Amino acid sequence: MTKPSDPSKPSDPSSTSSPGGASNPGPGGASSRSNRSKEALEFHSKGRPGKIQVVPTKPLTTQRDLSLAYSPGVAEPCMEIFKNPSDVYKYTARGNLVAVITDGTAVLGLGDIGPLASKPVMEGKGVLFKKFADIDVFDLEISSKSPDHFIETVAALEPTFGGINLEDIKAPECFYIEEELKKRMNIPVFHDDQHGTAIISGAGLVNAAAIQGKQLADLKIVVSGAGASAVACTRFYLSLGVRPEHVLMVDSRGVLNTRRKLAEDDPKREWVRDTPADTLAEALVGADMLLGLSRAGLVTAEMLVPMAPRPIIFVLANPDPEIDYPTAKATRPDAIVATGRSDYNNQVNNVLGFPFIFRGALDVRATQINEAMKVAAAHALAELARKDVPQVVNAAYGEEFRFGPEYIIPKPFDPRVLTWVAPAVAKAAMATGVAQVTVEIEAYRERLQGLLGGSTAVMRKFVRLAASAPRRLVFPEGDDSRILKAVSIIVDERIARPVLLGEAEKIRAKIKALDIDLAADSFDIVDPRSDTAAEGYATRLHRQRERKGVSAELARELMRERNHFGMMMVAEHRVDGIVTGLNFAYSDTVRPALQIIGLRPQVRKIAGMYLMLHKSGMLFFGDTTVNVNVDAATLADVAEMIADAAKSFDAVPRVALLSFSNFGSVRDPRSMMVAEAVELLRRRRPDLEVEGEMQANVAVDYNLQQHLFPSTRLTGPANVLIFPNLEAGNVAYKLMRELGGVPAVGPVLLGMNRPVTVLERDCTVDNIVHMAALTVVAAQQADGVTAAAGATLI
């Protein structure tokens, strides 16, 4: 390709950014947008500014560690790499390190905002690489107005990185930059704005054509837009089998036809066709497909009417499509419609591509990402969409997906995407000779399955499950700022109908002062001091507790206290669950729950469970918050409740009762008590995998467990860890959370007659939202709506 003749000239108005990976904002008023803006700014600024950090992978705690990590020990790997350059992959992080590089000239829908202002986007891209494919990223924002200077700068960085992801560079410069860098560099160079959208939409096209009964070679395609994404998509469709003479491209001045006067070096000349059509509307007459990568509102319903029967309509302008999804479907019910939006079916989302494509390319040390690898990725996604969708994905999105007009592309949170796309890319790299190492595909696929934990998808499942059948939740601390911020999200996600306890004027003033986006009709406020039900609640409490020292006057006094009042609302089925505890001692919250709501039938003890969202998978800790003095029967009860709760998270419980002893290695009353609990639980629940007493490292390291105890009754590493006392459980989860950086969700209070969630005082807004979702699902289970066999969260 020739170098752009005028690099300083603004890009064509038809150029747009790709649909990208972020959810697009839905409709809302100025207040909603203002609040979103505030939330976004707070998200990026709170704590450590930005979204990324560098974390050492080796211990650096002693002088010896330092001497190995740096001088003099670091000289040894340096000399090994000097003698054998490929050893850089053995001794450094290069093989898992990608540069996300931009000049800031075409940032999302913001345009040319410059390299500095583009940094939050580049950091965000890095987060997605890490989250979905465990790839490390350095974001590089280059101040350069010259494509050649940009090329020289990036090419000089080759020794540092295993791959280059070009991002948000305007057209036509982006074509020239990528082409030149691919010639000069011996590592993958990939412009996601071009190829990411092409690959994901290409996967959708393969499936859409099959559903509509059309051959790719026969499709007549109209492309609205002539920017980087539009050109790259069109070229990629040719690789999939579309014929070039069947493509009409339309820019902001009309159809690229032979009557247009284009400069000799204009890259659009490639798409000039001899056609009588001059406008987009004329081009669409009889067309099988519309690919939109231009701007919002450009396509009217009338333009879709004369398209061929069973059309394919991909309108991917960001953030709003050329024609909105409902209008397109209403106008052409026989059409398959895709957009870049997350709030409609068939979202073309680039996050389905770039993390997994780079994962496959890096793992075989590919020297480039060639066309065969891109085609392999598209076909892998298309094939995956045709498979039965696992329940964890359906639950995560709150609906049942089945291959057809409304589901032609997998969902971003489908954990199978990694194990389908990356192996397909790696295989294509090996087949085309650009891989420097080979892998056995099935073994590689198995290794990928353990690369990322499925915790995110599991938690999203509970948010979606809650939203599928929302319940009423009471929040006694209705004027707490964290509660109000969480309630805004809970309403936005449709998790629950919140009931806030407190003074109405004070709560509304707090909402206004915090600039929280909460519509007045989206929640309720109840003041226990003036509520008409308070007297009846006091009478019930007096009857329940009159032989426990609660007089009629004390009962009235307690019903003026928000925690007791909220518990009675649950007991009276006025609400379905309670979320409280931010400003109360844990015992002061649990005590009224036990007195007013009580235990579930056949339950002898309650227990506190924490979900530890470890990279290797979800772990269930207990008891972490309730039972101070335990015996063997209590430990068995706790283990049984937590094992049943684990089933709600799609986990097969493997229960380990922990001690400082391994199967009698230390004969001590404390370890013997744990061993007794194991035998009690085995007799009571032969259906459960239970082992112990055992040390924690043996419980979670299955290879060690099998080596030391070949007769182990567990079929894998333990995921339900039952601690011998409250101190051990409470200390363990807090150390993992604070020092190990393992996200913790909880505590989940098990054994209550109705859903009760007791928050910790340092609970974050996100954790409050998660706990609210779990509380709603517990209420659903209590009503027999969403419980798996044997699973319960109460």
695-746 per-position pLDDT tens digit: 999 999 999 999 999 999 999 999 999 999 999 999 999 999 888 888 888 8
pLDDT score recorded for residue 239:
95
At 337, which helix (H) or strand (E)?
Answer: strand 336-339
List the structure tokens of 597.
């709501």
pLDDT above 80 for 465: yes
- Give 555-567 pLDDT, tens digit per residue: 999 999 999 999 9
Which band of pLDDT confidence, cut at 50, 70 and 90, is reported for residue 792?
Answer: low
| Vertex 236: Cα angle to 234 and 242 (nearest 5) | 70
Count of other CB atoms within 10 angstroms of residue 52: 16
Which band of pLDDT confidence, cut at 50, 70 and 90, is reported for residue 193?
Answer: confident
What whole-number distance in Å separates Cα of residue 200 and Cα of residue 358? 14
Average pLDDT of the chain to the nearest whole number:
89
589, 760 in Cβ contact below 8 A?
A: no
- Give 574-608 pLDDT, tens digit per residue: 999 999 999 988 888 899 999 999 998 888 888 88
- What residues act catalytically? 70, 125
| 36/167: higher pLDDT | 167
What whole-number distance in Å separates Cα of residue 80 and Cα of residue 127? 32
Which band of pLDDT confidence, cut at 50, 70 and 90, is reported for residue 394?
Answer: confident
pLDDT above 90 for 526: yes
- Identify which of 211-225, 609-623, 775-789 has the greatest average pLDDT: 211-225
- Give 302-340 pLDDT, tens digit per residue: 999 999 999 999 999 887 899 999 999 999 999 999 998
pLDDT score recorded for residue 8:
34
Query: For the residues 547-554, what does the mean pLDDT come to?
Result: 91
* Helix/strand/coil for 145: coil
List the structure tokens of 168.
């948000």
pLDDT score recorded for residue 442:
85
pLDDT above 60 for 11: no
> φ and ψ at 699, to 5 degrees?
-65, -40
- Identify which of 64-78, 438-452, 753-767 has the greatest average pLDDT: 64-78
Query: For the residues 221-241, what does the mean pLDDT come to?
Result: 93
What whole-number distance in Å separates Cα of residue 2 and Cα of residue 118? 27
- Give 139-182 pLDDT, tens digit per residue: 999 999 999 999 999 999 999 999 999 999 998 899 999 999 99
pLDDT above 60 for 10: no
pLDDT score recorded for residue 510:
93
206, 410 in Cβ contact below 8 A?
A: no
Query: For the residues 467-489, what does the mean pLDDT come to?
Result: 93
Which long-range contacts link 708-712 to residues 24+ away (Cβ below 8 Å)? 708/662, 709/662, 709/663
The radius of gyration of the chain's CA atoms, rounded to the nearest angstrom, is 30
Smallest CA-to-CA distance from 620 within 599, 597, 639, 595 is with 639
Query: For the residues 255-266, what does the mean pLDDT come to?
Result: 91
pLDDT above 80 for 244: yes
What share of the chain has pLDDT > 90, as a percent? 66
| 52/34: higher pLDDT | 52
pLDDT above 80 for 95: yes
What is the model's pTM?
0.68
What whole-number distance in Å separates Cα of residue 461 and Cα of residue 399? 10
